[in-house]
């Protein structure tokens, strides 16, 4: 049962994503730093999202310029550039959430049943992905 995570704008271009709705008592909850009172949060900056998209665009343009004929205009090359937001969101997930296994024990397969961790991780990822799409839409308005 997926639901969009809580997020709020904390600056002109900064969003805070809260995983507070996931905090529920479990057998390892007593070891967790985060709970209902102090939820695990992640800060997403529109500037970081834009930089990631620009980097992908730049990398693809460089590759296309090597492959395409010199007579192809910049505008035509730009039309061929495809930005995969899933890859960008996945990279943010890896850097900001998956690396926190020590403090998020419910995502640590060394501390819990790997099947439960995989299922929980998948649920978190789906909700995070939906939330990131919404944040990205908001950032594009700026």
What pTM, to 2 d.p., does this model score?
0.78
Taken in order 92, 13, 9, 29, is the CA torsion positive or negative?
A: positive
What does the alpha-carbon distance between residue 118 and residue 50 come to, in Å, rounded to a whole number?
30
What does the alpha-carbon distance between residue 55 and residue 57 come to, in Å, rounded to a whole number?
5
Domain boundaries, the chain: 6-141
From first to last of its 142 residues, what are the pLDDT tens digits of the chain? 445 678 888 888 899 998 877 766 555 555 566 655 677 888 999 999 999 999 988 998 888 888 888 888 888 888 888 889 999 999 999 888 888 766 666 666 676 777 777 777 788 889 899 999 999 999 988 7
Rg (CA), the chain: 19
Count, in order, helices (H) and strands (E) of the chain.
4, 3
Give the Å distances, CA to CA, from 71 to 59, 65, 80. Answer: 20, 10, 15
């Amino acid at each position: 049962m997926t639901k969009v995570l809580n997020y709020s704008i904390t600056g002109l271009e900064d969003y805070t994503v809260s995983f507070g709705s996931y905090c529920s008592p479990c057998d390892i909850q007593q070891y967790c730093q985060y709970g209902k009172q102090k939820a695990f949060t992640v800060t997403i900056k529109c500037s970081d999202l834009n930089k990631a998209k620009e980097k992908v665009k730049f990398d693809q343009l460089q590759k296309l310029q090597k492959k395409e004929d010199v007579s192809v205009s910049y505008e035509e090359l730009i039309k061929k550039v495809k930005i995969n937001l899933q890859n960008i969101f996945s990279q943010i997930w890896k850097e900001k959430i998956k690396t926190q296994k020590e403090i998020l024990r419910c995502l640590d397969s060394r501390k819990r049943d790997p099947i439960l961790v995989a299922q929980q991780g998948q649920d978190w990822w789906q909700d995070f992905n939906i939330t990131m799409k919404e944040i990205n839409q908001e950032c594009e308005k700026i």
